[in-house]
Amino acid sequence: MATKPKVPIPLGEVAKAHKLSNSVYEVDLVPSYCVGTVPNGGFVATLFSVVASQHLASRNQPHTLAAHWSFLNRTAAGKAYIRVIESKLGRASSVLHLSLHQDGLTPQEPFIAPESQPKVVAYITNTNLADESGVTLPTGWSLDHPPPKVDLEKLVSGTDPNWERLIHPLTKAVPMLNNLEYYHQRSGHVLPTTHDYWIRLPCDENFTLASLGYVADVGPPLLIESFRPASVDAPIPPGGFAYKKAFWYPTLTMTLDVRRTMPPEGLPWLRLRVAAKEVLNGRYDAEVLIFDEAGRLLALSNHVAMALDISRNYAERRPKEKI
């Protein structure tokens, strides 16, 4: 019998990179952040941000300003190498091209065999957000259907009148879900695929700028999962599916646009607005807006993702396979 991964496990303990050379870093895709046999795409994205920050530390450009990831092939739990190509080095910001490899790894230079095909690729722009300055204008933008107020102390104790802890039916089947605490509106979602969540890390750990890749990816699958009955005996929601139907939600592409910095110690709470415009033929879009406790926009993320039968997650891996 396979051993279940340890959860919850602090994100900061496992989102680390070890420098092997001037252009290659070693990371560990831990089972505790896997969905089935495949590491969570947001966790992989955070590893990329960690590598970018470490690589550009000498240039005082530790913060990811913008990023675009393409998930080409299934990753697997275990060791991976991330190769860094410096596309542009600038005084205020720099652009890196990164690729994650798990095949053709070698113990010495060049560490990645020439024939190794990348599993995930990204372009990441880093800067120092604390040094930003420039024109700032009032746009008048606000959320449609703004969420109700929250008392975060009452939220933890379960006594907030507007919000409650989300205990998802998949929590036992997908241990990775226990690495985050979700809270949703007691009154339900404002629209079937427009959701609001408060989230926090369960191990007395704060969110950091590097963790925003992970944060950006935790909400979109819940849009589809909200069409699952709450129990095996509950009625199927309109347009929904049976309780025992199992899906896998691989991300094809994901972007991140970071709008402002965080305190050095990070933030204990974040609020998400997650929305999809259409779910069609097993493919869906998702927009994720990330806010701090004061309601300030921290980051935006857009996804192209799929909803596949879970058997695709566990299928035998073939050379040069595609998702």
**CATH no. for residue 275?**
3.10.129.10
The string of pLDDT tens digits covering residues 196-208 is: 999 999 988 999 9
**286 in Cβ contact with 302 (< 8 Å):** yes
Q: Chain centroid to CA 192: how far?
A: 22
Q: Is 2 domain-assigned? A: no
Specify the DSSP class assigned to residue 32: G
d(CA 268, CA 155): 13
Per-residue pLDDT band at 171 (split at 50, 70, 90): confident
Taking the model in full, what pTM does it have?
0.94
The string of pLDDT tens digits covering residues 145-166 is: 999 999 999 999 999 999 999 9
| Stretch (H or E) spanning 41 | helix 41-55
Residues 20 and 113 in one domain: yes
Residue 1 in this model has a pLDDT that exceeds 50: no
Residue 131 in this model has a pLDDT that exceeds 80: yes
Residues 108 and 223 in one domain: no
Residues 206 and 291 in one domain: yes
At a CB cut-off of 8 Å and minimum separation 6, what does 244 contact?
A: 232
Q: Is 104 domain-assigned? A: yes
d(CA 217, CA 297): 17
Better-predicted residue by pLDDT, 232 or 284: 284
Nearest by Cα to 298 from 176, 177, 212? 212
Q: Chain centroid to CA 118: how far?
A: 19
* N-term to C-term CA, the chain: 27
Residues 158 and 277 in one domain: yes
Residue 29 in this model has a pLDDT that exceeds 90: yes
Q: Is 146 domain-assigned? A: no
Residues 88 and 198 in one domain: no
**CATH no. for residue 78?**
2.40.160.210
Domain of residue 85 covers 11-129
Long-range contacts of 223-229 (CB under 8 A, 24+ apart): 223/193, 223/195, 223/274, 223/275, 223/276, 223/279, 223/284, 223/286, 224/249, 224/279, 224/284, 224/307, 225/168, 225/170, 226/189, 226/192, 226/193, 226/195, 227/192, 228/169
Determine the average pLDDT of the residues in 284-292.
Answer: 98
Q: Is 144 domain-assigned? A: no
The string of pLDDT tens digits covering residues 9-21 is: 999 999 999 999 9
Kindly write down the DSSP assignment for every residue of 185-202, as one continuous string: ETT--SBTTEEEEEEE-S
Residues 106 and 224 in one domain: no
The string of pLDDT tens digits covering residues 298-317 is: 999 999 999 998 888 877 76
Phi, psi of 58 (to 5 degrees): -70, -20
